[in-house]
Amino acid sequence: MTEPKKTQTPSEAILATRRNFLRQSVMGAGAVAGATLAAPYVNAQAAPIKWRLQTYSGAPLGAHVIKPQIEAFNVAANGEMEIELYYADQLVPTADLFRALQNGTLDAVQSDEATMASPVDISVFGGYFPFATRYSLDVPALFNYYGLKEIWQEAYGEVEGVTWLSAGAWDPLHIFTVDKPIRSLADMQGLRVFGVPTAGKFLSRYGLVPVTIPWDNVEVAMQTGELDGVAWCGFTEAYEVGWADVCKYALTNSVTGAWFGSYFANTASWQKVPPHLQELFKITIDQSHYYRQVWYWGGEAKLRVEGEKMELTSLPPEEWAQVVTDSKGFWDEVAASSPRSGRVVEAFKKYAETMEKAGYPYR
């Protein structure tokens, strides 16, 4: 007897369509790489260079934010180098990522500064810095045209053993809650949420309680009541990793439009990689930035509008205006923490002013 075909929910159909599109895109890129590498090649190296890279993300999320890049690099490296990919907390706790990278336990890391406890004065800007961005393209624009790239290179140039390679954009920040809807700032009082440090510090002024636990434990913690929700991601990620199956409510107000994440290498490990493989690694990082930007952007609005798993809530306009105003004070506090932090905040202000003057379609 043939079993009846299960009808996909709207969100399942959206995710399946987008996975298929991105899979075809990656396969196409792989075919081009294969054609490029088809010429005869002799590998005189006795054994491939082996790297261990750990990401901040768990496996379901890592399947999109880094796995395609590592697979592409390993193929294109043509036997000269191989990167072993590890997900959140698999080799070392996420909070120890920087130290493990610096002492050579790891050869490379993908994370934001705040989450990995990076000991630089600009670490507060890694992850979600309140209202620094509105769209994912803001991140590469800030790094390439407003001086952030040079500031990051300068900061990590003062840290022994770690080389900063590149920064890219992830998703916006929304708050998703299990069974307590947020319809006013007062509703945030006492809510225990899993989230990234900087945004958590800012939101704590409204009573939100940031909680840090291993990424793989988040879903169970929400099911058992240890957590009331997450302030960690956007709609794409919440649906992909299963948190939308646990949370009943989604706050549409976004504190930040895109997460700042970076790639780092252990300096000694990086210096042992020949120039052509260094260039290949940086090229696949750019590929990862592009893939991730499309993957997140393609899902945010569509899942917010057509996803059926969470009820949407919003803060009253006057309360949201207060949050925006409060963020300006937060910016000034951080700017005063160090001259370099002041330069970053100045870049944010200049960028925001430029976008405001440019008007539609930029803002």
Q: Is residue 40 a part of any domain in this protein? A: no
Looking at the fold, whether 186 and 330 belong to one and the same domain comes out as yes
Rama region for 190: left / alpha / beta (φ>0; ψ in -120 to 50; rest): left
**What CATH number should be reported for the domain holding residue 206?**
3.40.190.170
pLDDT in tens, 266-323: 999 999 999 999 999 999 999 999 999 999 999 999 999 999 999 999 999 999 999 9
Q: Give me the helices (H) in 167-313, please.
A: 197-203, 218-224, 235-240, 267-271, 275-306
What contacts 333, CB < 8 A, 6 or more positions away? Answer: none
pLDDT in tens, 57-89: 999 999 999 999 999 999 999 999 999 999 999
Q: Is residue 35 a part of any domain in this protein? A: no
- Please choose, from the candidates 48, 56, 154, the residue with its C-alpha nearest in 3D space to the C-alpha of residue 101: 56
Question: What is the domain range of residue 115?
Answer: 17-30+45-170+259-301
pLDDT in tens, 90-104: 999 999 999 999 999
What rounded mean pLDDT belongs to the chain?
Answer: 91
Give 9's pLDDT tier (boundaries 50, 70, 90).
confident
Give 38's pLDDT tier (boundaries 50, 70, 90).
very low
Q: Say whether pLDDT at 46 is over 80.
A: no
Give 362's pLDDT tier (boundaries 50, 70, 90).
confident
In this structure, which long-range contacts are made by residues 336-343, counting pairs with CB atoms below 8 Å and at least 24 apart in sequence?
A: 337/121, 337/124, 338/121, 340/121, 340/122, 340/151, 340/154, 340/155, 341/121, 341/122, 341/124, 341/125, 343/147, 343/151
- Please choose, from the candidates 259, 269, 87, 88, the residue with its C-alpha nearest in 3D space to the C-alpha of residue 163: 269
Looking at the fold, whether 134 and 146 belong to one and the same domain comes out as yes
Q: Say whether pLDDT at 3 is over 80.
A: no
